[in-house]
Amino acid sequence: LARSTYYHQLNAMNRPDRDASLLGLVREAFENSGRRYGYKRVHLELRGMGIRVSAKRVMRLMTRHGLVPLLKRARRYSSYKGEIGGEAPDNLVNRDFHAEGPNRLWAADLTEFRIPAGKV
């Protein structure tokens, strides 16, 4: 360990914490949110109060002092609701498409296309 490094660290430990005043404001914004805001929204709250501070500095303060939101982020939106109609119908044709008479065998092909106006 270099001599200059030792004395630099010794002096650094005696210096006052420059984030002490900011920590109170961060903690207040965090508690006012019901402990739900992360560092990004706390940073926006501080900006709304007219305090200019880096978002990374807010993140470091919150991490160092254990100010962690209660809930993680919301789930991503998915419109999938599961299989519709329950079970698949029985396969009565078994790939034998020859009909014994008119209106005895009907087949259909369902295809979905995505176009800018929506699904077709």
Tell me the per-residue pLDDT of 44-95, one tens digit each, with 9 for 90 and over. Answer: 999 999 999 999 999 999 999 999 988 766 778 888 877 766 677 788 888 8
pLDDT tens digit string along 24-34? 999 999 999 99
- Side-chain half-sphere CA neighbours of 57 within 13 A: 14
Residue 27 structural domain? 3-64
Residue 35 maps to a domain: yes
Number of domain units in the chain = 1
pLDDT of residue 88: 74
Domain contains 60: yes
Whole-structure pTM over 0.85, yes or no? no
Burial (0-12, 13-18, 19+ Cβ within 10 Å), 37: buried
108 found inside a domain: no
